[in-house]
Amino acid sequence: MSAPPVPPPAASPVPPPASGSNPPGFNPPEVGDPYAELLVELDRSVQAIREAALRLKKAADGMQAVERNADRVLASTRMLEINVSDLLRDSDGFASWDDHRE
């Protein structure tokens, strides 16, 4: 008996950001900050991980092991959002980041 075919991943409901565009709610830091572009790229990567984990969980279609592991990936992704994505949306966070970077 063969397993039923896995449906292709659904198209993401959120289109990827256009090259050079900022994420929603982005508060740009001071002009010339060399870390702003890095943080935007990291944020895009974190959001891609989140979207992939959500597609994986949906595709699992009741396979508890896969769904639970996808939940773990989503929890880890939330930690990355706190570390990276939320920093982009709170420009005051750049000051505290600068204090610890040295």
> How far apart are the C-alpha atoms of 44 and 63, rounded to whole Å?
28
Closest CA to 23 of 74, 84, 94: 84
Residue numbers in the chain where pLDDT is lower than 70: 1-32, 34, 90-102
Domain edges within the chain: 35-101
Tens digits of residue pLDDT in 67-95: 999 999 999 999 998 888 777 776 565 55
- Report yes or no: 89 and 25 within 8 Å, Cβ to Cβ: yes
Q: CA dist 88 to 9, 39, 49, Å?
A: 29, 7, 17
- What is the CB neighbour count within 10 angstroms for residue 94? 20
The model carries a pTM of 0.59
Give the pLDDT score at 54: 97
Instruction: Pull the structure tokens for residue 4.
Output: 């039923």
